Structure 1
Amino acid sequence: MTKNEIFAKFNDLGNEKRKEMYIKNGASENTYGVLLGELRKLAKKLGKNNKLALELWNSGNTDAQWLACMMFEVEKLSLDEVRSMVSQLTYVDIIDKFISEVLCNSQYVDILMKEWANSTKDNLGRAGWKLIVHKISTGKLSDADLEDILANIETELQTANPGKQWAMNHALCQIGITYPQFTERCISIGETLGVYKNLKVAKGCTSAYAPNWIAAGIAKRKK
């Protein structure tokens, strides 16, 4: 299947309500609103194909970039390609998808994590901290590494740009959930900083306020 054939498929599968939701959440107008279930079906049919994935990605279309994240052969992406790809992103859901589906398996994780986490650009800051979240979730970081991360969070979380702030808060919560020896410390930091404490939460969703998120995460792991 070629890029043009895939876009014809997008046109048939486009969902106006989903498109409106994507755009409301920060996607560009270059969006069809294809349901993720349909994109997964396409990805399964197409398989891994780095060349086609790059063509889809470079189109700038939201649906194409979602699909590309499921098709990349990460070992074939160069460091400069990855830097260029992420630097152009503004839609946070695609940033998160690219990090979790593609970059967390890259040989460049440590380089990019350090490079992006300290960036003043919100998209890069979010990407860097999402890579830190991935590192935390492995359960293999030393106490010294975790202390360094928490020191940065205590200093920067309240004043970080929105995208980066969300990822930093995720890192705080992930430490509290994954490393029992740090649970009370992370809850205390969350209470002191108060980030997202007053954020409205939809029914059935978990609060982003760190003490609540950590408690929910621990309860889920015990099931």
Structure 2
Amino acid sequence: MATGVLPQATVEDVLAQLAALEDPKIRAVNERHGDDHGVNLTKLRAVAKTLRTDHALAGRLWETGDTAARLVAILISRPKEYSANELDAMLRDARVPKVHDWLVGYVVKKNPHVEELRVAWFADPDPVVASAGWALTSDRVAKTPEGIDLDALLDLVEAQMTDAPDRLQWAMNECLATIGIHHPEHRARALDIGERLEVLKDYPTPPGCTSPFAPIWIREMVRRQG
């Protein structure tokens, strides 16, 4: 008999399989980044693959509040079926960084309400919610910048990024780099802002990876573009 979760799996079935995959060493590493689960993500994705798309089960898994279960829920949901209100509530409840990132990247970006949510979240007083707005704005800057005031974005980065809370600062820094990478006419200013603010200048970067320090990030990506 093939192993794995059956397509008709219940929430209890999925939670049991995730519990069996729990690895204390992985949990220890994840918890240093604010993610309270210990499941290898490749194995977690394999669990989701056996379930296939199941929007109803995704909703029930999300309601458990369990981080690994929520990651599976994101992978098996139908992004286009969520209302704007549902996604807003989910994002505000998604305080774990990996859940937050996957929800924005795998669900919100594919939802028909993405622009409405981007605008609403961008100016939200909650910095974690605002970071989602900035992440979606970075996506617009890179792919569909029409209607985005890049000078105004750079003004905000210049004025606010240094003192922004960590996750919002990271998202603002990504937007700064994205502007510099994709918009040559704004590159000099983006580089100047990055050099002066020095945000993430000393961020530890593993060998072979690009530093998140915006000036290094911008120059390296532009170099790769040839």
- Normalising by structure 2, we get a TM-score of 0.89
8 Å CA contact 2:122, 2:134 repeated in 1 = yes
The residue aligned with 1:104 is 109
Structure 2 unmatched ranges of 5 or more: 1-8
Q: 1:191 to 1:6 in 2, by over 3 A?
A: same
Tell me, yes or no, if structure 1 residue 75 matches structure 2 residue 80. Answer: yes
Distance in 2 (CA, whole Å) between partners of 1:22 and 1:200 is: 17
Percent of aligned pairs with the same residue? 29
The residue aligned with 1:128 is 133
Please list the CA deviations of residues 161-194 of structure 1 after superposition, one character each: whole Å capped at 9, or x if unmatched. Answer: 1111100100111111122222222111111221
Distance in 2 (CA, whole Å) between partners of 1:158 and 1:69 is: 32
2:183 to 179, 201, 211: 179
RMSD: 1.7
8 Å CA contact 1:175, 1:182 repeated in 2 = yes
Please list the CA deviations of residues 135-164 of structure 1 after superposition, one character each: whole Å capped at 9, or x if unmatched. Answer: 1221x2138622222222112111211111
Tell me, yes or no, if structure 1 residue 166 matches structure 2 residue 170. Answer: yes
Which region of structure 1 is more displaced relative to structure 2, 65-74 or 164-173? 65-74
Distance in 1 (CA, whole Å) between partners of 2:212 and 2:62 is: 30
8 Å CA contact 1:66, 1:97 repeated in 2 = yes
8 Å CA contact 1:92, 1:123 repeated in 2 = no
Q: What letter matches 1:20 in structure 2? A: A
Tell me, yes or no, if structure 1 residue 22 matches structure 2 residue 26. Answer: no
The residue aligned with 2:6 is none
Equivalent positions of 1:5-20 (< 5 A) are: 5-20=13-28
8 Å CA contact 2:123, 2:130 repeated in 1 = yes
8 Å CA contact 1:146, 1:175 repeated in 2 = yes
Structure 1 unmatched ranges of 5 or more: none
- Normalising by structure 1, we get a TM-score of 0.90
SS at match of 1:204: coil
The residue aligned with 1:189 is 193
Which region of structure 1 is more displaced relative to structure 2, 143-152 or 128-137? 143-152
Tell me, yes or no, if structure 1 residue 64 matches structure 2 residue 75. Answer: no
Distance in 2 (CA, whole Å) between partners of 1:78 and 1:178 is: 31
Aligned residues: 218
Tell me, yes or no, if structure 1 residue 38 matches structure 2 residue 43. Answer: yes
Distance in 2 (CA, whole Å) between partners of 1:41 and 1:17 is: 20
Q: 1:90 to 1:186 in 2, by over 3 A?
A: same
The residue aligned with 2:208 is 204
SS at match of 1:102: helix
8 Å CA contact 1:177, 1:218 repeated in 2 = yes
8 Å CA contact 1:49, 1:71 repeated in 2 = yes
Q: What letter matches 2:14 in structure 1? A: I
